[in-house]
Chains A and B, each alone.
Chain A
Amino acid sequence: NAGVTQTPKFQVLKTGQSMTLQCAQDMNHNSMYWYRQDPGMGLRLIYYSASEGTTDKGEVPNGYNVSRLNKREFSLRLESAAPSQTSVYFCASSGQPGEFSYEQYFGPGTRLTVT
């Protein structure tokens, strides 16, 4: 199993450009999440999808959109990138049907720089 995969690993954007971060999991998890990590801030929740077909805002959703494409895939879109969105982005998943485990499994992260 690959677990949680993210593409790309690194990206540099100019202010105003758009891009989509891709995330996929092969653990049959119901829930998926997007976090950002800034220096000294820990991880903060951007959006999450508790189950296929649903998405909800987290703590810092402004400037982002998400799509739960199917049970495996959850993408994060920046429509018009700003320097304040320079960060490391982590995707995570949790919740295998029939199991009472709340552990979230994280992808390797995407380091995004907006100039």
Chain B
Amino acid sequence: AQKITQTQPGMFVQEKEAVTLDCTYDTSDPSYGLFWYKQPSSGEMIFLIYQGSYDQQNATEGRYSLNFQKARKSANLVISASQLGDSAMYFCAMIPLTGGGADGLTFGKGTHLIIQP
């Protein structure tokens, strides 16, 4: 079984500052994938970034980067130069890859990020 913990229920950040959203995980699978999704107030789930457990480098996608520390079992999301449109719920999730990656995602409870002007 997998478990995702997001310890920040809510965060307020000034526009243009960098933001780090925390995520720790627990799994017994030797191979797994880690995701971050954004959910704006409109409700849709938007994929942001993916990191495989065997990837040597931290994943980056534009202003998003994933700070992956395997030994600490953490997968923090870093948003550089935050914008007002970044205000949303952010979910960390993981999937075991030993079964081919077709299992469902396990999600954390989310962090509500509010960017202030």
Q: Which residues of A contact B (CB under 8 A)?
A: 30-31, 33, 35, 40-45, 48, 50-51, 58-59, 88, 90, 92, 94-95, 102-106, 108-109
Contact = CB atoms under 8 A, between A and B. Distances in A.
* SS class, residues of chain B in contact with chain A: loop
Given A41-B109, A94-B101, A103-B35, 16 more contacts: A33-B105, A42-B4, A45-B104, A48-B103, A50-B99, A51-B102, A95-B101, A102-B35, A102-B95, A102-B101, A103-B47, A103-B50, A105-B47, A106-B37, A106-B45, A109-B43
Interface residues of B, number: 25
Contacts of A88: 43
Contacts of A92: 45, 105
Contact of A42 (B101, B104, B109): B109
B106 A45 contact: yes
Contacts of B44: 106, 108-109
Contact of B102 (A40, A45, A50): A50
Interface of B: 4, 33, 35, 37, 43-45, 47, 50, 91, 93, 95, 97, 99-110
16 contacts: A35-B104, A42-B4, A42-B107, A42-B109, A48-B104, A58-B104, A59-B106, A90-B45, A95-B102, A104-B35, A104-B47, A104-B105, A105-B47, A106-B45, A108-B43, A109-B44
Contact of B107 (A40, A43, A48): A43
A62 to B, nearest CB: 16
A92 B33 CA distance: 17
Contacts, number: 62
Contacts of A41: 109
Contacts of A102: 33, 35, 50, 95, 97, 101
